[in-house]
Every structure is written in structure tokens, then in C-alpha cells.
Amino acid sequence: MISNLSAPERILVMPNAELPKAIALSEEISQHLAQKHINHRVYSYQYENLMPAPDLLGWDVILTVGGDGTLLRVGHLCVPLGLPLLGIQAGRLGFLSELSETTWQEGLEQLLAGQYHLEERLTLDAELVRQGEPTQKWDVINEVVVSRGHIVRPIEIRVDLNEGYMTSYIADGLIISTATGSTAYALAVGGPILPPELRNMLVLPIAPHLSLDRAVVLAEGAEVTLRAQSDHEAVLSVDGMGPVVLKPTDFVHIAANSNSLRMVRFGEPNYFYRRLAAMMQNNPILKQNNYD
């Protein structure tokens, strides 16, 4: 399904600065764009070192070069601005990336010709409320996780929806996931795989004990409140970021974000299932670690 959209005139290329392969590939992409007289810039963003994020205003599309982690981190910058994102795989895992080191030239030709479509993916708002006041807020692409900390004992997690009390879990943790996140942590704990355009939330316990052990699918309009009750440490983590230690009276409010993650796509709608099957049958992480 290819649409005739506006060809981007200003392109920002953002490689993972910690991956030499990504840096080298970005230089090739830059040379390619320069030959075509496309206004562009390469910005190596060192995510782990917390370097200042670039100013994304004025760019038409953002190219990430790296793995899924690279795309997620840049995605957090793009979601509030509604900027389209195109992932080029140069890392270990690429569920989200559209192009690879062997297909990027063909993909860029289509992009510059306006022969692509935009896939709108649901994102979430997550807000930590402490002593009745919001203290931190996140745009969520994959998942929100409330879990036990370093002590290996389950915690109790109460779940309330718009309508009121839903249930409580005794578990190692609880995942609230988007369809995008259904192939991430949620998949690792046995959750269902949702097609990326589905605008639903998953509620999925981690190692539940004498509790509901099935995933619950919520509609986009649902609002979820999580409260951890424990005599030992409980933590909150969003999209794999560093954990935030929860206090006993804290709660986390989660709802659909008004902004979507906008992904540049070139393939037909069934691309997701073909890629998923290939990933499951030929795990790239195992191959790179010589486990095959």
C-alpha cells in the first residue's frame, strides 16, 4: 500500500553514536543525500550519556540508524512533534526498523519520490502522582512496567479502570503495553502479538501467583491507574528507562496519548507478519552471539 505523499526536503539522520557500524552507515547515507542535493544533517546522539537532544523543529523526517533501542529513544522526541520516523537497521534487533544496510538506498529513493505511507501507532501518556501531585510524565511507545525491585518477592498491584476497580495481582510485576510493545517485554512473558495499527492496550502480569494469569485487552479510551502495595521495594519503568522507586502512596495513571508514533512504511500491510515470522525463526541476537 503505497501513497503519494510529499517528498521530504529536510532530513535529519540520527545514528546511535555508540555503534561504529551505525556511524559508518550514516556517512554513506549523508553522501547519498548530498549527491541528490537534499538538505540534511547527521547528528550522532549519545543517548546513554544524556547529551542534549537536537532541535527537531523544521525537519520533515527523522532517519534513525541503529537498532530498536535507537528508534525508541528518538521516537520519544518525535511523538510530541508529530514527526515521521524511518528506521534503518544497524543494530542487533530490528522489529521496528523499515530498512537495512542492504535496502536503504532503494528505500530512500521511494521516500524522496513520495512513494510511502505513514503508519500511525498508538502511544500512551504515563504520569506518576505523588502526594496528590503529578511529579513525572512520559510519552510511552512500548510499555509501562510496575514491578518488584531488587528483593525477589512478588508485590501486590491494584488496577483501576475508568469504571472503577478491576482487579489486584500478586506478581513480580505488571505490564501495560501498546500494540508496538506487544513484540517487546510483553512477548517475552507470553503475551499476545498485536498488529501495530491496533489501538488497544494490553494488561499483562509478570509471573503471577494465584492471580489472573491472562492478558486483558483494553480499548483505546480506557484509563488505567496502578498502585503497588508492598513491604519492600517496587519500581516503575517506562520503555526500558531507568527505574523510579515508588513510595507507598504513589500511583501511576496511564491513558492514550493524543499524539501517535508516525512510522514511514513502504511495504504492503502484511509486512509485519512476514518480518515477525523471520525474526522468530532466525533470531538475530542469537546469531550475533554465535549461539546458533
pLDDT along the chain (292 residues), means of 10: 77 93 96 97 73 81 93 93 95 82 95 95 97 95 96 96 94 97 94 93 96 92 96 95 95 97 85 67 57 38
Give the model's pLDDT for residue 95.
79
Q: Any idea what DSSP says for residue 81?
A: G
Are 261 and 79 spatial neighbours (Cβ–Cβ below 8 Å)?
A: yes
CATH architecture of 124-256: Sandwich (2.60)
Q: Please name the residues in contact with 285: beta carbons below 8 A apart, sequence gap of 6 or more.
A: 92, 93
Are 252 and 126 spatial neighbours (Cβ–Cβ below 8 Å)?
A: yes
Q: Please name the residues in contact with 108: beta carbons below 8 A apart, sequence gap of 6 or more.
A: 29, 32, 33, 99
Q: Give CATH 2.60.200.30 domain extents, the chain.
A: 124-256
HSE toward the beta carbon, residue 25, CA cutoff 13 A: 27
- pLDDT per residue as tens digits for the range 165-220: 999 999 999 999 999 999 999 999 999 999 989 999 999 999 999 898 999 999 98
Q: Please name the residues in contact with 58: beta carbons below 8 A apart, sequence gap of 6 or more.
A: 10
Grid cell locating 284? 538475530
Q: Please name the residues in contact with 179: beta carbons below 8 A apart, sequence gap of 6 or more.
A: 121, 122, 194, 195, 196, 197, 198, 199, 200
Calpha distance 234→150 (Å, rounded): 9
Calpha distance 166→217 (Å, rounded): 13
Give the model's pLDDT for residue 204.
97
pTM above 0.85, yes or no: yes
Residue type for position 195 = P
> CATH fold of 3-122+260-288, please?
Rossmann fold (3.40.50)
Element (H, E) at 274: helix 271-281
Give the model's pLDDT for residue 273.
63
**Which residues participate in catalysis according to the annotation?**
68
Quick one: angle between helices 104-112 and 20-35, nearest 10?
40
Give the model's pLDDT for residue 225.
98
Q: Please name the residues in contact with 20: beta carbons below 8 A apart, sequence gap of 6 or more.
A: none
Q: Give CATH 3.40.50.10330 domain extents, the chain.
A: 3-122+260-288
